[in-house]
Amino acid sequence: MKNYDRYSVGYFPPATPHNEWVKKDHVEKAPTWCSVDLRDGNQALIVPMSLEEKVEFFQYLVKLGFKEIEVGFPAASETEYHFLRKLVDDNLIPDDVTIQVLTQSRKHIIKKTFDSLVGVKKAVVHLYNSTSLAQREQVFRKEKPEIIKIATDGAHLLKEYAAKYPETDFSFEYSPESFTGTEVDFAAEICNAVIDIWEPTPENKVIINLPSTVEMSMPHVYASQIEYMCEQLHNRENVIVSLHPHNDRGTAVAAAELGLLAGGDRIEGTLFGNGERTGNVDIVTLAMNLFAHGVDPELNFSNMPEVVEKYEQYTDMKVPPRQPYSGKLVFAAFSGSHQDAISKGMRWHKEKGLRTWSVPYLLIDPKDVGREYEADVIRINSQSGKGGVAYILEQNFGYSIPLQMREEIGYMVKDLSDKEHKELSPAEVYQAFAREYVNVFDPIDITDATFMKASDYKSNDGMIAKIKVRINDEEYEFEAVGNGRLDAISNALKMTPYTFDYKFVTYSEHALSAESSSKAAAYVCIEDSDGNQFWGVGQHEDIILASVNALVSALNRQNKKDHFVE
């Protein structure tokens, strides 16, 4: 690929190693979450949200558990100003939720920002200015002291205006925008200049937000930058270090997680990573990664289908089908070996009554995010195997397919999917199974069967069967004795003028559901003199008649290969 040599390293790692964070193996507690869906997320949309949509989205973010929500840049847009005023005037901000607003370090913008907040109980005022080498040289054409003055002038103004509104509990946040393209020593210098003006206390901490406005480095470099900053910031115990990763390199989630290990306390991001260019960090994935490590994420994504639905409704964006935790296909297994392992794992957990999750190929239990095993986990197409098909039939329709039968059914269903070139729904899988195996009554149909104990038999299992049978549209009645019901039925059939070539291989039965009035299923396998095996499945309210139907079905399936002859 041409022109790769145009790109050089544009980021600034610390001069000395800062990698204590590598000694930690996972994030041990949830960060403070701040949703920026209504700001970064909204400005990334082709058609921004209407006022009504923003209000609904705000209320949904509250429902999910967000305690800090950035509502916009009220001094820069009349729409965002009116949105903020509606939240305040209609008393839509819960007491335990803090709204956040963004402002540049310019006096008239800061004044209008505070005017927009009149009547708010709690608010974070987020001050920012660009600090990167590229911005300083190309956009502002200013030296470092001039850039610092922009930040400190704004910091003084925030204190000045906040004092005019004592009824509001203000917190201050500062971002050296384009932090990842800023020399880390300069980033520390400008942040400390702001911290010294704001004089944070345990009761009124300051937020220092360190955004990867453009993601330039591998995640471990960002983590080292965060660790360096945490060491250099003044009054660190009263400073909340916030991370605002973007996704230009596709590693925002990894960068955020490593940044938390390195000392970050807070995350600014969006649902599903919606944001400018390739987006912001995906809070859903971050929170669910914590969940998957046994850490309470302090956000509620237990109804993930609803979260996806609401997000798509408000933003007109789509969640990809393989998006972690939330995509429609994220739990779907089409591979036969995967399906077999999953179905066995599910059965193991059920048998052992285990609460701790460890099912093969499934990081978390899909039910914990509102997904269903039947519809979302085992999906059937031409790549599927015996385990997946058996799982679908058991979970959806109650058929516990014998192990010896599963491979045959699996190939039958795979062949159907391959020929139709599509995924098969559970209903289509069942229809194919029932059509081929269940209660197959042509050309043989036993229309009536009664049984009685054989008194001259020494065995307690001796039975006499009286049957009415139709074969090739001819009606017959026979009576025969056997060492059990199926044996008696089989002996009666062999009294017909037709030649039957088979022996029993295996038989099993079970109820299709727990109710006493439910139907029963029976499975019969027979084998001819050439070693060919034929399965039949019977279904009936009476388990005995279900077994009769299973034998008849097996015989009729045999007849497809080798027609009965008189």
Binding region for Mg(2+): 40, 244, 246, 280
Q: Which amino acid is at 431?
A: Q
- The token duo for 245 is 């990763």
- The token duo for 351 is 């048998």
- C-alpha distances in Å from residue 67, one per residue of 5, 89, 166, 312, 412: 45, 19, 22, 22, 53
What's the longest Cα–Cα distance across the chain?
112
Is 530 strand, coil or helix?
coil
Q: Which amino acid is at 492?
A: A
- The token duo for 291 is 């969940």
Distance CA 290, CA 296 (A): 7
Contact 365, 345 (CB under 8 A): no
Distance CA 457, CA 489 (A): 16
Distance CA 348, CA 342 (A): 10
Contact 99, 58 (CB under 8 A): no
Bridge partners, residue 33, by sequence: 267
Q: Residue 221: count other Cβ atoms within 10 Å of its Cβ.
A: 19
**DSSP codes of every residue in 220-234:** HHHHHHHHHHHHHST
Closest CA to 114 of 150, 154, 148: 154
Contact 252, 245 (CB under 8 A): yes
Distance CA 94, CA 466 (A): 77
Distance CA 318, CA 512 (A): 40
Residues annotated within the binding site are 40, 244, 246, 280
Q: For residue 176, what is the enclosing H or E element?
A: strand 169-177
For β-strands 474-482 and 122-130, DSSP reports them as unpaired
Distance CA 447, CA 461 (A): 24
**DSSP codes of every residue in 230-254:** HHHSTTGGGEEEEEEEB-TTS-HHH
Distance CA 444, CA 559 (A): 9
**DSSP codes of every residue in 330-391:** TT-B-SHHHHHHHHHHHHHHHHHT--S---TT-SS-GGGGT--IIIIIB-BSTT--HHHHHH
Distance CA 88, CA 80 (A): 13
